[in-house]
Structure 1
């Protein structure tokens, strides 16, 4: 046995409850993964779980809800930058869990990167408000005086996150980023085996002082009677085994109070090699690389790891040999060493669990690679939790259901041959719901057939080929922008997915009112609401002087045949409905009509103030609709109204600005709407305006 000289003395992992660190005595003993030496004790003995929930709701929730989405997002960005400076500390601890430097790029760097991503998404796509207006206005009456809309507001509870052992940093940060953006506090309960890593990150967060008081609490050890004290506004997310999830989600109090419960469970993810892929094709090498990476990254302890390797029957021997050759270059040992590519499993009990499932899989499958003890570069086979990568062959996978039912949560995968694409898709679906799958092919019809054959049972599918390989993040890698979760045995839940995750922590309420009242409540103008016209052109007002509802009704302009001819010549748009008298008679309009973009340009000419002023730039337009044709001799006018305002963050040396969204209605001489849209402009703010 090679004894590491750097193992720390055992520590007592503490909980952060009601703003104070609480350390019990003793508890579950945790050993390092490579050498099997005691490094920590974990216990939540003495924690008042009811008080923790109440503190989160009363203190954390209230403090977070004082801030708008942009303010919370900026806090998240500052927190990510702070943690980024502490990565070396987190990486060193993470090595004790069996994670290599490569593994830490996913867990530590990936977790911090998720905070940065959510901060950016929220500042870009959410309003600088404490609520979100969802979808368009719904007319509930013929006259337009009764309308409805959906509004999203923060839950007034606590988000309880119960995490798995394999990603002690990313698993926490990817969950708390959306709930903090939403304005909801969190209580995090990491798996005991790696809780000391999570605790170190929470200590750094707490020491930073960046989050409002009560925004984050930590339970190290058992959850005790926590579930007994959950209320209707609380939420629970769980990552781990499907068996544990099925027990927790039917807890009597969860059911009685209808507490939302989101499950992300381990699943039998697969990768499919297309029939058209030959051993000399780039896709063949990509396929082998993904299989080996997923077997060895985190020692196969990933909820998205490849468990089923589905290949054309005629490629079984080629694939086996290629995997064997690539695995021969994988070094195992002490994960803190630069020359080690694969570390141990998280602990001896996890290794024993995997060995037991592997024993059951062997009853119906042949071992192609495995059952050996490669040389270790540090660490100990007997005291540590090492396991060599193992590849099995289920030669009759349509009838051998063990490999579709049992998951060895370690470096174990099963090769499954198929006869045609229908059979490949059927094998993929036999997993009964997975988080992720990959299809490796450069043949687009083949990719299409496989995708639609597999889509209903997979949360995410990567199509990997020579064209996207350079930028691809690989099989199963959760991305902040895309959904992480899957149907069936994968839990039926969703995490990440961009701002969808934020909306999990918001309550959707429908509001029904008249336009003026709805505008007053939401702060966003809707057509039909009362407007303000004080005689000052809105373009002469800076951002801070403008108010939602400020409006301008323009003079009129008559559209002539010469206008249409000039526009056709200038733009090159000589579409027959505008320029051909004879053809236009048989058109939808029965006559020549003005170009829609001529109407748009003419409206701009009516409402734009040409002088130098606070309006700096035009960002573009949204929601353009031409509702009625404009013929020769029709007279149009426009109403320009401030629809909403969003102050922009100002960097040092920049001019303070904000984005103003203007609603524009263009009507004809009969007051009939002919065009409607919104334009976005960049407008200067007052030098002494409110800080952002």
Structure 2
């Protein structure tokens, strides 16, 4: 039986056999790759996927996991994610202890573990706010495809009936998994997670907790620790692959014959040569100068520089090179290194000896084109840990005095605590240097000068997935250069892989099939559950405002009595609102206006329509709290007669907290027409309606 990861304690390491979780069962193969802890070089785990039936795992995910998830709605899945986030949040101490063995400090774990759990919370909130409580998602408004109003089109999104395969890098064993599975689970698609072997024991501990929670349906999440074997040979058209890691590995995987033959979507987030640019206007006494230095040092030392978004190129005005170098050197001198489980340690080791050796090799190659200003082989005092057996590497800062011709600095990434200073002359050169990374996940601009920020942004944007403009105004709330956020896209062009993750609902849509629906209005309403203008409606002697949420049905409609608009109406509304725009109040000026006469205020038409369809008595309609898509299509003048048609467009039940009245949101479509049945205004209103107890 696999030893529980909770038995592992820093400095008292008992190696475990890391297991995979396949087809609802834990599978541990004896032996395999030996994994050593990053600080002391002691064996911590053995990883092997020997004996795993990869084809069966995919089949199980598609059939059991997919079917179970697709039985639920977006909101039900969102509530699963929130409950799971709460459950994992209560077990962070266990995950933190394991993560220290990978070289991660307490500060690093805030990004990886707390950040991963926070992403679950964020996606749960976004899904409940922005998606319907349905098993499908109507993406856009209807598009008329004919002149007669009998043929429309719109896009409907449904879950793909495959598995999301996530291949993750070693640097974020928790966040890397949770930020990927959150969108696919919301979409209703099961996942198989393949973490990097070096830190897979941390991912395994989190998956064990997820399984023990019982919060996800059977088959929703599987785990492969070790080699992927022939996994790619069993992928099918409905599956999706995401990969985080080196650009070289990604380029090999995405051209796997089965990926190409079956057209399997492949999303890449590759390491990139990210940069930060100091504006020309920033002086050493400005707040932005200190912010710049702080960001550089944070990105060099956080996760020991092992972040796909870490700053590799530090682009500064040529007149500020010496001052910036001195400030970075001073700040780096205060960075304590050692055992990452200690509270007084700011930077731990790299993940392992092989990673340290790789970084040292690239550092040597970069040194051939640049001058080493800080680091370069020194062994500062360690607060715990072992220089020989562990994977420590001191931060290194280089200077490329001719950055336009320093090819290594724009081509080679030392995936560790290494950065290169690059002087520039003029903003155009700064932007050119930023683009020479051939595509980056993240870039930062540090300046308080708005024109400078604008010029740099547009000079850099084509080569960057995300750009932070940092200054004294946003510094307190800024999450920093290297922190991907659930609400914003994580990905970048070119070298960075061309992929897109996160970005709010953008990530959920990666796992949904967008299908264009073409139909008549009544059929489209029946399929989508949303009323389309022109569809058949149902009228009742009971006013719709007298019906509760359950009694109301999409298509329930009310055609109001008529009202003739008078000059007195318009004058009274002008006096009441204070809106005396000439087209409403000046007879002579209005004759030369677009309308050729005085016309009613658009908001008067809106108010008059409400007066026609609102039932004034106490009833199940509790509040009106929104209006969407308002368009005034024809003017209304003196003597015109208007009426309104109110129709239930869609319904969404709201979650009920303890002590609250159960309610739902009803969206009503409103068309206002004149005496010639010509549409004069159209919009939707949102009301809060009581549900049955």
2:589 is equivalent to residue 580 of structure 1: no
Counterpart mapping for 1:152-191 below 5 A: 152-191=157-196
Counterpart mapping for 1:105-124 below 5 A: 105-124=110-129
Cα shift at 1:7: 2.9
Residue in 2 that maps onto 1:669 = 675
Residue in 1 that maps onto 2:382 = 376
Runs of 4+ in 1 over 4 A off after TM superposition: none
2:38 is equivalent to residue 12 of structure 1: no
Structure 1 Cα separation of the partners of residues 12 and 186 of structure 2: 38
Q: How many residues align?
A: 684
TM-score, scaled relative to structure 2:
0.98
Counterpart mapping for 1:7-46 below 5 A: 7-46=12-51
Residue in 1 that maps onto 2:488 = 482
Q: Answer whether contact 1:7 1:39 (CA < 8 A) is retained.
A: no
Counterpart mapping for 1:222-237 below 5 A: 222-237=227-242
Structure 2 Cα separation of the partners of residues 550 and 47 of structure 1: 55
Please list the CA deviations of residues 546-596 of structure 1 after superposition, one character each: whole Å capped at 9, or x if unmatched.
000000000000000000000000000000000000000000000000000
2:529 is equivalent to residue 523 of structure 1: yes
Structure 2 Cα separation of the partners of residues 353 and 46 of structure 1: 31
- Given the superposition, is the C-alpha separation of residues 631 and 470 from structure 1 closer, same or farther in structure 2, using an over 3 Å criterion? same
Structure 1 Cα separation of the partners of residues 318 and 10 of structure 2: 50
Structure 1 Cα separation of the partners of residues 11 and 171 of structure 2: 22
2:302 is equivalent to residue 320 of structure 1: no
Cα shift at 1:240: 0.1
Structure 2 Cα separation of the partners of residues 517 and 5 of structure 1: 63
Structure 2 Cα separation of the partners of residues 646 and 370 of structure 1: 59
Q: Answer whether contact 2:466 2:490 (CA < 8 A) is retained.
A: yes
2:514 is equivalent to residue 508 of structure 1: yes
TM-score, scaled relative to structure 1:
0.99
Cα shift at 1:476: 2.1
Structure 2 Cα separation of the partners of residues 346 and 6 of structure 1: 16
Residue in 2 that maps onto 1:607 = 613
Structure 2 Cα separation of the partners of residues 193 and 126 of structure 1: 37
Please list the CA deviations of residues 128-179 of structure 1 after superposition, one character each: whole Å capped at 9, or x if unmatched.
0111111111111110101111100000000000000000000000000000
Among candidates 422, 427, 431, match of residue 421 of structure 1: 427
SS at match of 1:135: coil
Structure 1 Cα separation of the partners of residues 166 and 397 of structure 2: 34
Cα shift at 1:6: 3.1
Structure 2 Cα separation of the partners of residues 233 and 682 of structure 1: 39
Q: Answer whether contact 2:10 2:101 (CA < 8 A) is retained.
A: no
SS at match of 1:582: helix
Q: Answer whether contact 1:658 1:685 (CA < 8 A) is retained.
A: yes
Cα shift at 1:5: 6.7
2:469 is equivalent to residue 463 of structure 1: yes
Q: Answer whether contact 2:19 2:47 (CA < 8 A) is retained.
A: yes
Among candidates 436, 441, 449, match of residue 443 of structure 1: 449
Q: Answer whether contact 1:277 1:283 (CA < 8 A) is retained.
A: yes
Structure 1 Cα separation of the partners of residues 157 and 598 of structure 2: 46
Q: Answer whether contact 2:10 2:341 (CA < 8 A) is retained.
A: no
Counterpart mapping for 1:196-595 below 5 A: 196-371=201-376, 372-595=378-601
Structure 1 Cα separation of the partners of residues 10 and 344 of structure 2: 18
Please list the CA deviations of residues 28-86 of structure 1 after superposition, one character each: whole Å capped at 9, or x if unmatched.
00000000000100000000000000000000000000000000000000000000000
Cα shift at 1:305: 0.1
Cα shift at 1:8: 2.1
Q: Answer whether contact 2:446 2:469 (CA < 8 A) is retained.
A: yes
SS at match of 1:678: strand
Unaligned runs of 5+ in 1: 688-692
SS at match of 1:467: coil
Among candidates 77, 81, 93, match of residue 82 of structure 2: 77
Structure 1 Cα separation of the partners of residues 82 and 478 of structure 2: 25
SS at match of 2:692: coil
Cα shift at 1:534: 1.4
SS at match of 1:79: helix
SS at match of 1:427: helix
Residue in 2 that maps onto 1:690 = none
2:147 is equivalent to residue 142 of structure 1: yes
Residue in 1 that maps onto 2:108 = 103
Please list the CA deviations of residues 337-369 of structure 1 after superposition, one character each: whole Å capped at 9, or x if unmatched.
000000000000000000111111011010000
The Cα RMSD (Å) is 0.6
Q: Answer whether contact 2:373 2:398 (CA < 8 A) is retained.
A: yes
Structure 2 Cα separation of the partners of residues 516 and 561 of structure 1: 39
Cα shift at 1:107: 0.2
